[in-house]
Amino acid sequence: MRRRPRVVVLDYGSGNVRSAQRALERVGADVRISADADEALDADGLVVPGVGAFAACMSGLTRVGAVEVLRKRLETRRPIFGICVGFQVLFGFGVEHGVRSDGIGFWPGGVEQLRASILPHMGWNTVAASDGSVLFRGVEHERFYFVHSYAPHDAAPTATWCRYDADRFLAAAEDGVVVGTQFHPEKSGDAGAAVLRNWLEAWA
C-alpha cells in the first residue's frame, strides 16, 4: 500500500492552520501541525500559511527557527507550499504602510499594496494560469478565494496572474515543487482541493 505523504503545516502564530490541515487530509496527506523546526525540515512537504502583516509573519517565522528551515528546504528544492502571506514571504521584501521588511528572498522582487479603489480584495476571482502550470491542471477556469490588500507584482517561475480593479498581481508561482498561492486553496472548495492535490501528486 502506498504511503501517504507526510506534510507539516507550520504553526508560527500566523495562519489558519486547522483549515489547511483539513484540506490537505481531504486530498490524501498525512498532516501534522507543528512549530518544531526539525519536524518541519524532515517532513515530505511543508505548508506555510499566513494571515496578516508581512513583517509580523517574518517575525513569527524567525521566532520558531523556521527561516533557516525554509532556506535549507529551498536550497535543495524540497516541497514547500506558501499560502497568502506564507507565499509573500518567499519574495525579497514586503512594503506595508511605508515600511520595508526583508523576506526570505527565494524569488526576486517584492510585495506591495494593490492598486485598487477598494481594499481588501476579498472574495472569489478567476486566474490566468501559465500554459506550463501543474497546480492548475483541470481547474484553469475555476474561481478561487482571495482576502488580501498586498501582493507580489513581479514575474516568477510559471507565473499565474489575477486582475482586481486596476491591478494585475501574481496569484501563484511554481518553481518545481516549491509553489505558492496568493489565494487560499483551503477556502476555495473543490477547485482549491484540486490545486493541493496537484501539488502533492507532483512529488509524492
Active site residues: 84, 184, 186
Q: Pull the grid cell for residue 35.
A: 512549530
Q: Backbone phi, then psi, for 57, in 5-degree steps?
A: -65, -40
Compute the distance between CA of residue 118 and CA of residue 114 in angstroms, rounded to an integer.
9
Compute the distance between CA of residue 50 and CA of residue 182 in angstroms, rounded to an integer.
10
* Placement of cell 525554509 in the chain: 70
What HEC string does the chain produce?
A: CCCCCEEEEECCCCCCHHHHHHHHHHCCCEEEEECCHHHHHHCCEEEECCCCCHHHHHHHHHHCCHHHHHHHHHHCCCCEEEECHHHHCCEEEEEECCEEEECCCCEEEEEEECCCCCCCEEEEEECECCCCCCCCCCCCCCEEEEEECEEECCCCCCCEEEEECCEEEEEEEEECCEEEECCCHHHCHHHHHHHHHHHHHCCC
